Structure 1
């Protein structure tokens, strides 16, 4: 989930003293799922941009061989996008084809898939895997990557950060963003990727940092992430579980939310209507959920990985293994 905080509260204030009936979170979710079932989507889908199939790699291909093949594939995809008349997509693809980029996986078809490495996976003592939320595609990937760069800069030498856009993220304005469907599809690929990372460097501590809808992905994958030492969710609408115990993980579970993050207004419950479940359960920063709550400062929904921010510092400490004291009683505010 990405975007700006809505203005409902401002509108209510402008209405004056007139009181409005309050709806429960379950009622709000029921209305959302009813709309998803009954109301057709009217927005036209964006025309597909032509793209090549992913690079074919031999079994056992090493990281450098993968980087070279995927950069070449990105360059080819850029040419196809340019010929199609989509210069915006072509520019993003050319950036990915730059000789300095390390693409462990890449697929330019549809919304796109990118797994990019910052640092040296083979020698890193600590590895952080960033899992993005909604509306993250090839066309918005550079914003996601900027957060990965900021984190890697903060972590310092001997670390690696992986920007994992390994699933089809839902749109913020869509019915799918309120259900676990996309997360269910992403859980298997994320689990397998973490297993591959562990195989490449069994000595490294691996942390999973999950933003917004990405925390639903991490929650679905959690039972199979045995190589992960820490799972941190931030700007989270919920994980799909009602408590840390419900995640069935041996990893330490952390949660943070900025003081100005609109996600706090999302109903933290779930309801099933007409066979569709909407909502993601308990608020991860609530004491009842049981996560270790880390300081996230005054930022908004897109501010967690900003250079110099309280949240970035907290996440870096989690990855480095230097923040072990936080408990569910801590505050998200600095």
Structure 2
């Protein structure tokens, strides 16, 4: 297939482009190439039609979905290292009550999902079982973490489908635990802090949900900065500015790992996010044409698996009947300016698959071992 081009006409690395002008046939020319090109163009036109239909015609997915009863979220003071266990206990209790209410309402699937979240081994900074549900789960010792990875999910992520999101965070935490240098403490946070769009919905091709989520993500990161205890014994490492700080002054290194539509959320929030890395994986675009336009001092990374269908989504952005459709330049494009790294041959849901190239490189970014990364 021909390579996907961004809004500025730049191409994704690693793909062979069709010539812009007709060329003389060679002895090695593939006679099936014209048919392949036609299929590619048809696919792109079909995807474009889907984007337009989803943004303008298709009704909101879940609009008619009956509400799922659940208690109000637990009322908690701002969380600190000293109050983490209290927050975890309160949110587990809230999940247990949500499970009872869902079961009484006849929703066995939601009751089972809520019940799993109330297990004593689970650690939630936030939990809200109402509607599709929101939750923020912690893996590792957040109270003393030197390096923190925050996962921001894409479409169709809710309490009902939370298992796959949790598996991604768990796989990353396991890899970080194995690979972290001695004395480096790590934590992973699965942030389901916004109502994600449906993959087939009026919202997935527009930035509406991302604009609603952006201030929530900024506030969460602001609070997250204040949780780890950086007192005596904390490791002193270089700050984002490159200057060395003592243990009491050092802030944890935070990497934001943004998957699929989650990269649109991160793009909307980027200019006011106090993070060290913004990593765009399987991204349809961020809503801007260059990494510089994100207006962030963080390092901006991008990767896409060889079998990720997002590669065939048109990287466009235009106004249609008062609605902006699409997210602009492909973050994998050289014109975007991200630091591109290898993600192997995986598909759209394989970035955190144990043993994968993508998980290896994501681990290196979080740990700051980027000199060892394989690049795209």
Question: What TM-score, normalized to structure 1?
Answer: 0.87
Residue 235 of structure 1: how far off its partner (Å): 0.6
What residue is the counterpart of 2:66 in the other structure? 47
What residue is the counterpart of 1:65 in the other structure? 86
User: RMSD in angstroms over aligned alpha carbons?
Assistant: 2.5
Match of 2:282 among 215, 231, 235: 235
- The 2-side partners of 1:223 and 1:34 are apart by 31
The answer as to whether partners of 2:169 and 2:189 remain within 8 angstroms in 1 is yes
Residue 21 of structure 1: how far off its partner (Å): 10
Please give the per-residue CA displacement for 1:18-76, whole angstroms capped at 9, x wherever unaligned: 95794797996477436643455698732211111111224567211111100000000
Shift of the 44–219 alpha-carbon distance from structure 1 to 2, 3 Å rule, reads closer
The answer as to whether partners of 2:218 and 2:272 remain within 8 angstroms in 1 is yes
* DSSP 3-state at the match of 1:233: strand
Q: Is 1:175 the equivalent of 2:202? A: yes
* DSSP 3-state at the match of 1:194: helix
Q: Is 1:123 the equivalent of 2:144? A: yes
- The 1-side partners of 2:68 and 2:43 are apart by 42
The answer as to whether partners of 2:155 and 2:198 remain within 8 angstroms in 1 is yes
Matches of residues 22-171 of structure 1 in structure 2 within 5 Å? Answer: 22=41, 29=48, 32-33=51-52, 36-38=55-57, 40=59, 45-58=64-77, 62-156=83-177, 158-171=185-198
Please give the per-residue CA displacement for 1:166-202, whole angstroms capped at 9, x wherever unaligned: 0000000101000000000000000011111112235
- The 1-side partners of 2:94 and 2:36 are apart by 60
What residue is the counterpart of 1:8 in the other structure? none
The answer as to whether partners of 1:29 and 1:279 remain within 8 angstroms in 2 is no
* DSSP 3-state at the match of 2:122: coil
Shift of the 20–94 alpha-carbon distance from structure 1 to 2, 3 Å rule, reads closer
Please give the per-residue CA displacement for 1:189-222, whole angstroms capped at 9, x wherever unaligned: 0001111111223521000000000000000010
What residue is the counterpart of 1:262 in the other structure? 309
Moved more, 115-124 or 33-42: 33-42
Please give the per-residue CA displacement for 1:214-267, whole angstroms capped at 9, x wherever unaligned: 000000010001x21101010110111101011000000000000000000001
Please give the per-residue CA displacement for 1:100-154, whole angstroms capped at 9, x wherever unaligned: 1110001000110000000111211100000000000000111100110000000
- The 1-side partners of 2:162 and 2:98 are apart by 15
What residue is the counterpart of 2:356 in the other structure? 309
Please give the per-residue CA displacement for 1:62-107, whole angstroms capped at 9, x wherever unaligned: 2111111000000000001111111111111011000011100010
Structure label with greater radius of gyration: 2
Gaps of 5+ in 2: 1-31, 229-249
What residue is the counterpart of 1:284 in the other structure? 331
- The 1-side partners of 2:143 and 2:131 are apart by 31
What is the number of equivalent residue pairs in this alignment?
A: 314
Please give the per-residue CA displacement for 1:305-327, whole angstroms capped at 9, x wherever unaligned: 01111000000000000014779
Match of 1:203 among 238, 246, 251: 251
- The 2-side partners of 1:154 and 1:60 are apart by 27
Question: What TM-score, normalized to structure 2?
Answer: 0.78
Shift of the 204–86 alpha-carbon distance from structure 1 to 2, 3 Å rule, reads same
Shift of the 104–59 alpha-carbon distance from structure 1 to 2, 3 Å rule, reads closer
The answer as to whether partners of 2:54 and 2:203 remain within 8 angstroms in 1 is no
- The 2-side partners of 1:160 and 1:44 are apart by 36
The answer as to whether partners of 1:29 and 1:278 remain within 8 angstroms in 2 is no
What residue is the counterpart of 2:270 in the other structure? 222
Shift of the 132–28 alpha-carbon distance from structure 1 to 2, 3 Å rule, reads closer
The answer as to whether partners of 1:235 and 1:256 remain within 8 angstroms in 2 is yes
Match of 1:186 among 191, 201, 213: 213
Gaps of 5+ in 1: 1-12
